[in-house]
């Protein structure tokens, strides 16, 4: 089977590509960045294009039986805005899939995506869902919360923060629930949708097997890293200010405006009713110390290399560090 994957070199996309390639299927990776391609899929077709490039999407989908749409953003930067990536991009993916006669479309969405909530991120993800539901294609929409694994932002940023700062500010004064998903579980569920026809024409919440508070999750990661930061709550408005600043200062901000909204709401349950996940497909990998350890990056602090426009400066002064208060 030939399967196209948008966001094919990202966290979820490349894990899906590895799983499908290992099963003997041909994958087409669509990605605009220069992220590494896993050795297991080094022979895959890689199309360097954004979701606005309709002709490139048409080439990617040609001859495919399924499309896995993983591409998305959690902050706006330049021309990469939610309306363009999540809404217009999904419209282009749906059009390319229909033109190619694709059998199945899987959309990776967000657990609390919904309309008319005042968040462009949430609303654009909901608009993408509605587009897929109305596409006429066989689809599966997976509404995921936190996804972690090697190369993610969550464990990566928490780890670097613990090596950089002695303190950690929690979002808001009420500790919210979180149910982390191992990326291997998410990839397995997507594989079942593509290869076995699972979750046909369904919108399903994908949550981890363990519910814990954000404070508990952070402490668990800190314990694995070998750090004991002093944790305390800070008002949500402070995090919005911090997120606004960091989006403009960092290449990959420690916290974005969308992430502040996400964490202030919690990530335990979907915002709207979803169809139940079958027991045989439900996430089963716990947020254990062993699993966390597998996903951690090399030890290190945040530094000049993490700032926008400071790559050359960081190479010249590799031991200098710029310090910010880290948020998840």
Question: What is the residue-level pLDDT of the chain in tens, covering all 328 positions?
Answer: 999 999 998 999 999 999 999 999 999 999 986 556 666 676 788 999 999 999 999 999 999 999 999 999 988 988 889 999 999 999 999 999 999 999 999 999 999 999 999 999 999 999 999 999 999 999 999 999 999 999 898 999 999 999 999 999 999 999 999 999 999 999 999 999 999 999 999 999 999 999 999 999 999 999 999 999 999 999 999 999 999 999 999 888 888 999 999 999 999 889 888 998 999 999 999 999 999 999 999 999 998 888 987 754 434 333 322 222 222 2
Question: Contact 39/230 with Cβ under 8 angstroms?
Answer: no
pLDDT of amino acid 153: 86
Helix (H) or strand (E) holding 206: strand 202-206
- Between vectors from CA 268 to CA 107 and to CA 254, what angle results, nearest 5°? 75
What CATH topology corresponds to 2-148+178-206? Rossmann fold (3.40.50)
Question: Contact 46/8 with Cβ under 8 angstroms?
Answer: yes
pLDDT of amino acid 326: 27
Question: Contact 311/305 with Cβ under 8 angstroms?
Answer: yes
CA distances to 13, 174, 265 from 140, rounded to whole Å, are: 16, 34, 25
pLDDT of amino acid 252: 87
Helix (H) or strand (E) holding 314: helix 311-316
Calpha distance 327→165 (Å, rounded): 11
pLDDT of amino acid 41: 76
What residues have CB less than 8 Å from 171, skipping those under 6 apart? 214, 233, 234, 236, 239, 260, 263, 264, 327, 328
Helix (H) or strand (E) holding 187: helix 183-196
Domain extents in the chain: 2-148+178-206
DSSP character for 277? P
């Amino acid at each position: 089977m030939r399967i196209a994957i948008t966001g094919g070199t990202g966290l979820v996309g490349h894990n899906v590509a590895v799983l499908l390639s290992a099963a003997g299927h041909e994958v087409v990776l669509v990605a605009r960045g220069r992220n590494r391609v896993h050795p297991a899929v080094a022979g895959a077709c890689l199309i360097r294009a954004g979701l606005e490039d309709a002709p490139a999407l048409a080439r990617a989908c040609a001859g495919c039986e399924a499309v896995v749409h993983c591409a998305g953003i959690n902050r706006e930067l330049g021309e990469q805005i939610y309306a363009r990536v999540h809404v217009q991009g999904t419209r282009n993916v749906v059009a390319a899939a229909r033109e190619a006669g694709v059998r199945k479309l899987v959309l990776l969405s967000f657990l609390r995506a919904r309309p008319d909530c005042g968040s462009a991120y949430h609303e654009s993800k909901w608009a993408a869902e509605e587009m897929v539901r109305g596409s006429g294609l066989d689809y599966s929409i997976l509404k995921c919360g936190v996804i972690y694994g090697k190369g993610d932002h969550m464990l990566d940023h928490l780890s670097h923060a613990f090596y950089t700062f002695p303190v950690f500010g929690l979002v808001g004064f009420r500790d919210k629930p979180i149910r982390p998903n191992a990326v291997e579980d998410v990839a397995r569920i997507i594989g079942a949708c593509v290869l076995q026809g699972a979750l046909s024409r369904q919108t399903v919440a994908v949550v981890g097997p363990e519910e814990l508070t954000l404070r508990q999750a952070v402490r668990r990661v800190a314990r694995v890293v070998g750090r004991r930061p002093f944790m305390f709550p800070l008002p949500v408005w402070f995090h919005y200010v911090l997120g606004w600043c960091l989006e403009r200062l960092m290449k990959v901000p420690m916290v974005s405006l969308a992430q502040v909204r996400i964490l202030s709401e919690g990530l335990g349950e979907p915002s709207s009713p979803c169809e139940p996940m079958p027991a045989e497909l439900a996430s089963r990998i716990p947020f254990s110390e062993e699993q966390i350890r597998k996903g951690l990056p090399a030890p290190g602090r945040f530094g000049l290399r993490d700032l926008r426009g400071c790559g050359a400066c960081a190479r010249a002064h590799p031991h200098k560090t710029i310090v910010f208060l880290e948020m998840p």
